[in-house]
Amino acid sequence: MNQPEIRTVDVARYVQPLREGGSLPAIVEADDGFLYVLKFRGAGQGKKALLAELIGGELARAIGLKVPEIVFMNLADSFSKTEPDEEIQDLLKFSVGLNLGLHYLSGAITYDPLVSVADPLTASKVVLLDSIISNVDRTYKNANLLNWHRELWLIDHGASLYFHHSWENWKDHSQRTFPLVKDHVLLHRANQLDQAIIEIEKSLSPKVVQSILAVIPDEWLLEESDPTTSQKRREMYSEVLIARLANIDLLAKEATDARKAHV
């Protein structure tokens, strides 16, 4: 598999903030004429949220799940100088440079577990993906799923890979399961986990994982207080993800046991 092709665009117009998100993302127009949901590097979790968004989204795409196009977005310093809202002004000021955007799905509706579309195999793949990337943010309270054109679309993986907020025990994390799968919004529909394992293992070889990690900008991988190189950091992410993929049978059993407990 070749590296994902992530386009780079420039923010041309700030349209409006999305205040339902804690990190205050925004709808913006880019110089290609399309609207995007812009995730800011200057928000609370910083570049690591963008990195998790990119990794989680492209892993999902690689296993056949629907994810809006992900792009790199350059933000100029001029936007903060004309923004009257002080909170947004600061966010724009601290986000000058390379950010991340997702194509805006106009007319999409928020996933509702009672009425929305989610076939069992898709639900099973989402549950296993979220177990692999430790996505704590796909619950009934905040599904981070959309229905668009009668298909299920995944958004907002920024809370995934939470181990990277403290690298001290990163090797331990690679061997852990994901107990929070019990709260997953799609767990009750995930009754094709065995087939999902087959498809995920066929799609996510170590080379595919590494090809996704290769597109991460070096600057997102570097930390001021840590001398670790960007290449070494990529290798650490790779080791964690490949180890968790190797434990997919264990993650599936955990999900199965959680389903039985809910019945």
State whether residue 152 is helix, strand or coil: strand
Do 243 and 194 have their domain in common? yes
Q: Does 84 reside within a domain?
A: yes
Tens-binned pLDDT, residue by residue, of the chain (263 aa): 578 999 999 999 999 998 765 678 999 999 999 999 999 999 988 999 999 999 999 999 999 999 999 999 999 999 988 888 888 999 999 999 999 999 999 999 999 988 887 899 999 999 999 999 999 999 999 999 999 998 999 999 999 999 999 898 899 999 999 999 999 999 999 999 999 999 999 999 999 999 999 999 999 999 888 899 999 999 999 999 999 999 999 999 999 999 988 76
Q: Give a yes or no: residue 1 inside a domain.
A: no
Check whether residue 84 and residue 125 sit in a common domain. Answer: no
3 within some domain:
no
Q: Do 40 and 80 sit in the same domain of this protein? A: yes
For residues 89 and 17, state if they share a domain.
Answer: yes
The residue count for the chain: 263
Residue 137, classed as helix, strand or coil, is: coil
The whole domain housing 31 covers 8-103
Same domain, 96 and 124: no
Q: Are residues 63 and 13 in the same domain?
A: yes
Residues 237, 243: Cα–Cα separation, whole Å: 10
Q: Is residue 190 one of the residues assigned to a domain?
A: yes
Burial of 221 (0-12, 13-18, 19+ CB in 10 A): buried
Q: Give me the sign of the Cα torsion angle 38, 42, 47, 49.
A: negative
Number of domains in the chain: 2
